[in-house]
Amino acid sequence: MQSSIDISKDRSLLWLMAIACGLCAGANYYCQPLIHSIQQYYQVPESQVALTVTFAQVSYALGLLFIVPVGDIVNKTRFIPLLMLGAAGGLLLCAFAVNLPMLWIGTIITGLFSVAAQVLIPLATMAVKPEKTGEIVGFLMSGLLVGLLLSTSLAGLLSDLFQWNVIYLVSAVMMLILAFMLKSRLPQVPLMKMSYFAIFKSMGSLIKAEPRLMYRALIGGCAFAAMSILFSTIAVLLTSEPFKLPDVMVGVATLIGVFGALSTTKIGRIADRGYTLQLTWIGIAVLAISWVFLYYGGQSLISYILGYGIINFGLATVHSSNQNIIFRLRPDAKSRINSIYMTTYFIGGACGSAVGVYAWQHGGWMMTCIAGIGLVFAAAFFSLLDTLHLKRIKIAK
């Protein structure tokens, strides 16, 4: 079910959508570099403040599972701005929170409704020619990933210059402005006639009917898990010996990941030419290579920064290839497909963060790197299953 509208030439709209994706994605990561400042502000144990990160991740995962699929059955031109308004409300609650529980409530609301980005991306694929799918998804993913990477650095910078809650206020205002600008410009696309509860039954049917969806979701989940190990260990590694970097410099060190994020548009164009399998294996190989640099990064900051940049490029390559494939499986179910894929993707990320903490506590940086490369091998395993499945399909035809 494809719209007759083609937004690929409307660059201003695409930029607005990409910025919205980045703003929505970044909204869930502001708290990560601010834990110490928030703890001092509320005078509560740091372990309680750290729960804010967990609430952000869990609420976002719930939004992916229970809100994103609704995008297939409602008017997206109204639904997306409405979600962004909800996210802005959560951010404002965080900005003016008078105590930690109020900050938690704001974080949960923000996480639930910031999934607007995951409704925007399927909408874009329905409003372009099929041969442009990878390029447009890549462009929007560039915005999303850049927003995610910049969020922690900007949060830390504004906290140093002003106060920890300023980033929430600025982000809320920007979210409201973007919601207003997108409301009148988003394209109308066909809808499915289906009840809310029928959506989840159909999602189960999709998983059974489209094996490649789950293979690709598991590839993405394992790849993101390999990357997420760094999220839970970067601060403890770079703020201890031999580096002893301040918090702001830890955020600056990760900005090299922006170059990997910006590559997704070009990767998408290559994927549009039918090279998704090749790109997947290249991405997995790059992920494996990155862990070699990261291993030596335990003693060399330059090696760590290079490894961090390389792993972002590898993840962007795998993720862009996955999305190019899954959005072509069932044009009438793109939001539900994206919900299944992204829920698995972020479950992988959460598991990767937990594995990173466990590996660090039980074997230091070496064990952390072993866990990282192990998850890359897991992604390779599911990629092999996907490749074999595709070959069986071709033989059957």
Q: Each residue of 184-229: pLDDT tens digit?
A: 898 888 777 888 888 888 888 999 999 999 999 999 999 999 998 8
Q: 379 or 46: which carries more pLDDT confidence?
A: 379
Residues 220 and 109 placed together within one structural domain of the fold: no
pLDDT for the residue numbered 361: 86
99 and 242 part of one domain:
no
pLDDT-derived band at 298 (thresholds 50, 70, 90) equals very high
How many angstroms separate the CA atoms of 158 and 169, rounded? 11
Domain membership of residue 244 as a residue range: 199-397
What band does 397 get if pLDDT is binned at 50, 70 and 90? Answer: low
Predicted pLDDT of residue 56: 86
Based on the fold, state whether residues 170 and 207 are members of the same structural domain: no
311 and 257 in a single domain? The answer is yes
Task: Specify the CATH number for the domain of residue 214.
Answer: 1.20.1250.20
- Does residue 81 sit in the same domain as residue 154? yes
Instruction: Quote the pLDDT of residue 237.
Output: 85
- Total-model pTM: 0.82
> Do 208 and 181 share a structural domain?
no
Q: Per-residue pLDDT averaged across 88-94, rounded?
A: 97
Q: 326 and 199 in contact (C-beta within 8 Å)?
A: no
43, two tokens? 């005078």
Using the 3D structure, point to which of 131, 159, 193 is the last residue of a domain.
193
Nearest to 14 by CA among 170, 120, 134: 120
**Same domain, yes or no, for 70 and 160?**
yes
**Residues contacting 237, CB < 8 A, separation 6+:** 243, 298, 304, 365
Question: Domain boundary at 158, 193, 228, which?
Answer: 193
Cα(246)–Cα(255) distance, integer angstroms: 15
Is the domain of 249 the same as that of 175?
no
Q: Are both 81 and 8 inside the same structural domain?
A: yes
pLDDT above 80: residue 127: yes
CA distance linking residue 86 with residue 374, whole number of Å: 39
CB-neighbour burial class of residue 63 (10 A; exposed 0-12, middle 13-18, buried 19+):
buried
Please state the domain count of the chain: 2
Percent of the chain with pLDDT over 90: 47
Same domain, 188 and 206: no
Q: Which of 176, 193, 210 is the last residue of a domain?
A: 193
| Mean pLDDT, range 70-93, rounded to an integer | 93
pLDDT over 70 (residue 5): no
Residue 130 shares a structural domain with residue 240: no
Residues 6+ apart with CB under 8 A from 47: none
Same-domain status, 375 and 357: yes
* Of residues 220 and 10, more confidently modeled: 220
